[in-house]
Amino acid sequence: MTRCIWVLVFLLITGTASSQVLKNPQQNNTVDYAQPKQYRLGGIEFTGIKFLDPASLTAVTGLKVGDEITVPGEDISRAIQKLWDQGILGDVDVYVTRVEGNQIFLNFDLKERPRLSRFEFSGINKTQQDALREKINLIRGKVVTDAVLSSTRNVIRKYYAEKSYLNAKINIVQKPDSLLPNSVVLNINIDKGDKVKIAEIAFEGNEAFTDKKLRRQLKKTKEKRYYKIFTSSKFQRSEYENDKQLLLDFYSTEGYRDAVIVSDTVYNISEDRLAVRITVDEGDRYYYRNISWNGNYLYDDAYLTRVLGIEKGDVYNKQELDKRLNYNPAGVDVSALYQNDGYLFFNIDPVEVKVEGDSIDIEMRVSEGPQATISKVNVTGNTKTSDHVVLREIRTLPGQKYSREDLIRSRNELANLGYFDPETIGLNPIPNPAEGTVDINYTVSERPNDQISLSGGWGGPIGAVGTVGLTLNNFSTRKLFNLSEWRPLPSGDGQRLALNVQANGKFYQSYSLSFTEPWLGGRKPNALTVSLFKTIRRDSRSEIDSRLNVDGASVSLGRRLQWPDNFFQLSHSLGYNRYTLKNFRLFGDFDNGSSNSISLNNTLARVSIDNPTFPRRGSQISLSVNLTPPYSLFTEKRNNYEYVEFNKWMFDASWFMNLAGNLVLNTRAHFGFLGKYSSKTSIGPFERFRLGGSGLGGQNIFVGTDYIGLRGYDDESVIDTADPTLASTGGIAYNKFVLEARQLISPNPGATIYGLAFLEAGNNFGSYDRYNPFRLYRSGGVGVRIFMAAFGLLGFDYGWRFDDLPGQPNAKRGQFHFMIGQQLR
């Protein structure tokens, strides 16, 4: 008896998952599997499908009508495998529907995998659910395959592993969706378990360094200890691998260039604790012996050796050697000698020519190459700032010799403008060795830099004070009458326009307006600033008309110097203030009349910081002298206050040192002295110093008082009690010293954040007889700074005073301080 339908494939290839070959119910043709036979494919049909396209499936199989196929043979098995590889089918059955002569007709009976209707979480809170929804790639309508489920588990497991939940369990249950055919709902049940901490990190094979020393080299892999409050002890595999490389780098810097990690293991010691064990082979410690130079013509061997700064017998340190050869941010390196003189194509290759015992001989193979000339300078990314504003700050100009120092300086100048994100300013020299030229491409990223302030506060006797301020830091008067350039205001030419209004009804109003043109005439960096202000203050406690009017104006001109170096700046400012009093007691017996202050302020400064928001290196030093005419030397004054007379000297210095990564040490010193011209006169109450608190100032701004912060103490509380006038008028001399460590937390230009810890000390003196720069009031504390482009710099500090103030036994020991703006002093 013949059989018309035979099974076409009976596990033709081992591993063809769950494929079945069924009998044909027709009996007039037979497929003999014992005798393979070649057929012509007469037709293909698909059954069991609802969403898949038959034409697409036919293309996937690789079969087409008219093909010659062998039955049994590999043609059909390959077609089945290709269908399986799509991952969208749960079962594949193949039938022979009929055989007509040498033609064979096939039917692929398929079972589609279900599609995703929706998914839901259980076992975790909403915050974690929202975080996971952004990470897992589950889209409605997607075919639910084993790979999709596996990928989802892996993403969730990785998410919790990063949070130290290393034993998280993920169970995904599929439930048919009653509303949609061939669709499922995934219930993702998560049991994250307990956080797993590192209980122990141990080392084996180390003899040169203790376990404690080696543990400190692991930056992200730390032991759990009760006293390590701010140290994370979670285990992350990627960070652990990085830390192992840091460990080898440490050995290398200590001369152990052959050190290797023989083995390492991470194992559980309890449900929520694990241990790490690392076995090292330190090898020998190596030292420099002979250093020779080859190929150098511009500089002799002795000079290059001095610049290199490595002597015979020093511990071999490949990283330090590379830094001193190629780029040393803390000093001069060998490459800088050449590249600052145009030798862009300079190359140096240190070669170990001999290793004998623990000693290494190095030959420095130098290729000086020709000097390179700058061909083109391009700037991209300045969508708001005009090209000429950017280009005038760049020191690498076409036709000049290439200089790496000028390139870095240009980046710092662009950062100091405040218009661009300093962390993303790009420098890309493109050398052309064939022509001996280089093109330099600068890339910048604009950031918001205009500032608006809306605030309110309590102004002591004035009461509540509201403030509205607007500062346009990249203004353009050139575009003022071109309405198409108002976006929303004319900008891009680097000018600064500031308007500020403070008011408390009729009792207090203050208005100020200033404008700065940083490049007067457009050819040289001569900055012109014009300022106007007016203040009206009435005494709300007086029954009679009691008022103080202050009108003032100033004009200043600043320019950059080329000597002693091109970091220096010199500025001159001429200012006039007129104080008009009517039944208003400002100080002493001065309550009616007018007082005039004409002063010339001269400031010499040197600024070399690399970033105005978060400096990592460089310094800011300034010396200013503010002088009025010496009226007392050539005329008699009608009263002590009609013509204000003083000479005022201020010195401020701030240094920045990059300790490691984004950790920076800032040291500051500040001095101020107020003097007189004649021994026959006394130092007046104008322009004095008040010390203590945040340094934001009180209500005596009308007399030019300088408010100096000293954290940990009340505002204006540091006074010389031996001088009874100091409490009401301020001191005539002060000094202050600050040591501050800063750690960058977020470099985001929208909100740059860094934390700090500080120690500072200062004092305020009412007479030079009592001046002693070593008699200081000390404090320490921590704080945070937040720079937001729209509001400027905000600061929050907690200071703890170490010393008691005379006459203030009940003063608070700890103080919170709020600061606005950059508090240099």
Question: What's the pLDDT score for residue 487?
Answer: 84
Query: What is the mean pLDDT of the segment spanning 568-585?
Result: 92
Question: What's the pLDDT score for residue 577?
Answer: 92
Please name each of the domains of the chain with its CATH number: 20-112 (3.10.20.310), 115-191 (3.10.20.310), 197-281 (3.10.20.310), 287-367 (3.10.20.310), 373-443 (3.10.20.310), 608-820 (2.40.160.50)
Q: How many angstroms separate the Cα of 581 from the Cα of each of 596, 705, 743, 778?
A: 12, 18, 49, 39
Question: What's the pLDDT score for residue 304?
Answer: 96
Q: How confident is the model at residue 822 (pLDDT cuts 50, 70, 90)?
A: low
Query: What is the mean pLDDT of the segment spanning 545-553?
Result: 89
Query: What is the mean pLDDT of the segment spanning 50-69?
Result: 82
Range of weakest confidence among 207-216, 642-651, 679-688, 762-771: 679-688
Query: What is the mean pLDDT of the segment spanning 267-293?
Result: 94
457 has a pLDDT exceeding 60: no
Question: What's the pLDDT score for residue 5?
Answer: 34
pLDDT in tens, 767-815: 898 899 999 999 999 999 998 866 678 889 999 999 988 877 778 889 8
The bridge status of strand 706-708 relative to strand 689-691 is: parallel
Question: What's the pLDDT score for residue 84?
Answer: 76
Range of weakest confidence among 500-504, 619-623, 775-779: 500-504
Question: What's the pLDDT score for residue 584?
Answer: 82
Q: How far apart are the first and last CA of the chain?
A: 109
Question: What's the pLDDT score for residue 225?
Answer: 82
90 has a pLDDT exceeding 90: no
Cα distance between residue 293 and residue 305, in whole Å: 9
Nearest Cα residue to 359 out of 392, 312, 429, 294: 312
638 has a pLDDT exceeding 80: no
Q: How confident is the model at residue 267 (pLDDT cuts 50, 70, 90)?
A: very high
Question: What's the pLDDT score for residue 465?
Answer: 64
Across 248-271, b (16+ Cβ under 10 Å) vs e yields: bebbbbbbbbebebeebeeeeeee
Q: How confident is the model at residue 725 (pLDDT cuts 50, 70, 90)?
A: low
Q: How many angstroms separate the Cα of 253 from the Cα of each of 285, 324, 525?
A: 10, 13, 45
- Paired with 144 in beta bridges are none
Q: How confident is the model at residue 518 (pLDDT cuts 50, 70, 90)?
A: very high
Question: What's the pLDDT score for residue 824?
Answer: 44
Q: How confident is the model at residue 426 (pLDDT cuts 50, 70, 90)?
A: very high
Highest-scoring range by mean pLDDT, 115-119, 163-167, 347-351: 347-351
Question: What's the pLDDT score for residue 398?
Answer: 95
740 has a pLDDT exceeding 60: yes
Question: What's the pLDDT score for residue 9?
Answer: 35
Cα distance between residue 490 and residue 477, in whole Å: 7
Strands ordered across the beta sheet of 183-191 = 115-122, 183-191, 169-176
Q: How confident is the model at residue 727 (pLDDT cuts 50, 70, 90)?
A: low
Mapped to the 3 state alphabet, what secondary structure does 484-503 carry? HHCCCCCECCCEEEEEEEEE
Amino acid letter, 814:
G
Q: Are 251 and 262 in contact (CB under 8 A)?
A: no
Cα distance between residue 743 and residue 720, in whole Å: 35
461 has a pLDDT exceeding 70: no
Tell which wins on pLDDT, 105 or 622.
622
Question: What's the pLDDT score for residue 628?
Answer: 94
Q: How many angstroms separate the Cα of 632 from the Cα of each of 135, 236, 588, 595?
A: 77, 74, 20, 15
Nearest Cα residue to 89 out of 39, 37, 146: 146
Query: What is the mean pLDDT of the segment spanning 562-590?
Result: 88
As separate numbers, helices (DSSP H) first and strands (DSSP E) second, the chain gives 13, 35
420 has a pLDDT exceeding 80: yes
Q: How confident is the model at residue 163 (pLDDT cuts 50, 70, 90)?
A: confident
In the predicted model, what is the mean pLDDT of the chain? 86
Cα distance between residue 445 and residue 380, in whole Å: 9
With tokens 């500062």, the residue in question is 471
Tell which wins on pLDDT, 29 or 102.
102
Cα distance between residue 308 and residue 321, in whole Å: 8
Query: What is the mean pLDDT of the segment spanning 308-332?
Result: 90
pLDDT in tens, 210-263: 999 999 999 989 998 877 776 788 888 889 999 999 999 999 999 999 999 999
Tell which wins on pLDDT, 672 or 96.
672
Q: How confident is the model at residue 7 (pLDDT cuts 50, 70, 90)?
A: very low
The number of beta carbons lying within 10 Å of the beta carbon of residue 584 is 19
Query: How big is the chain, counted in residues?
Result: 825
356 has a pLDDT exceeding 80: yes
